[in-house]
Amino acid sequence: MLYKDFKEAVKVVGFASVDEFVKYAKINSSDVLKWEEKEEIPYLVSLLLHILKGDKEVLPSSLSLQNIVEECLPLASLLEEASSFPAKLEEMFLLQKQLNDSTNGKNWELGLNKFNKEINWLRCIHMEVAELIDSTPWKHWKDINSNPDMNNIHVELVDIWHFLMSYILQETNVPKAVSLVNTHCIYEAAQNVDIKLVVKEAEKLSYIALAIETKNMPTFSGIERFIEQFFRACKSAGLSFPWLQKLYIGKNCLNQFRQDNGYKEGTYKKVWNGNEDNVVMVELLREIEDVSFEELYAQLKLKYN
């Protein structure tokens, strides 16, 4: 949507000026200046105008506004879904804190686990990115025509999300974490995945981790860059936020289930009737519409037994 169409649409839905709309929508005026410079309006602002038009049926229609409506229809269901995102984010951050408390001990945020072992979330992210890339045919000397393992790429993104949430919680708290992440969860996952782009977007997560680790990027601005880049990587890989949330609950639950059934002691069995536990977990997630930790844990217990 172009800026000139934005100015016209604002008036059509009943605002006297762009400034009046900006105040209503609680938009930062500096953002509007950037839109004007780029001659481009964010998709969600277009969607907001579409919703406002729907609330004011007596207003005249216009060609530019009709174009906005058509442009925004694919996101209508996503916006409705997005109202639940803050609650889902809070659940994920609380579960991650609970898992870290359980496996690493209290006060893990200080950088040491209960065995006095150093915790380095940045290195964890860097290593998981390498595992994600290994799920693609990036090597020029081997399997050059093989297909990427998209299921595993999504699982690796979820593993990165575990470590990124832990890093955010180490530096902030749950309410602040939800506030930082919430606005980045509304996006359309790519339908046609460009695997080279997926690799590039994933590698940028490593660059950020290394920049913070080597003191070339301040921690807090690094966190904001991390969050933005993580969801950009998810988008490029075709991983929607609702499916990310489902997979996260699944992986978090499975991690706890493993700990409760002898993972550290080496007595846990990772293969269940010929299938790895990760595969069993994903199959269960596909069957459960609105997943909860407790329900999935109970289902895993039945399958394991």
How far is it, in rounded angstroms, from Cα 291 to Cα 247?
10
pLDDT digits (tens, 9 = 90+) for 10-26: 777 777 788 887 777 77
The least confident of 138-142, 168-172, 218-222 is 218-222
Kindly tell me if the per-residue pLDDT of 3 is higher than 80: no
pLDDT for 40 equals 77
pTM above 0.75, yes or no: no
pLDDT for 185 beyond 70: yes
Which one, of 22, 217, 207, lies nearest residue 129 by Cα? Answer: 207
Question: Residues 228-251, buried b or exposed e (16+ Cβ, 10 A)?
Answer: ebbbbbbbbbbbbbbbbbbbbbbb
110: enclosing H helix or E strand: none
The whole-number pLDDT of residue 126 equals 95
- pLDDT of 242-255, one tens digit each? 999 999 999 989 98
C-alpha span between 169 and 163 (Å, rounded) = 10
Average pLDDT of span 222-239: 95
At 79 the pLDDT is: 59
pLDDT band at 103 (very low <50, low <70, confident <90, very high): confident
Residue 190 scores a pLDDT above 80: yes
Question: Mean pLDDT throughout 218-246?
Answer: 93
Structure tokens given for 68: 């906005």
Per-residue confidence band for 186, with pLDDT thresholds at 50, 70 and 90 = confident
Query: Is the model's pLDDT at 68 over the cut of 70?
Result: no
Q: What is the mean pLDDT of residues 227-252?
A: 94
Query: Of 53 and 150, which is predicted with more confidence?
Result: 150
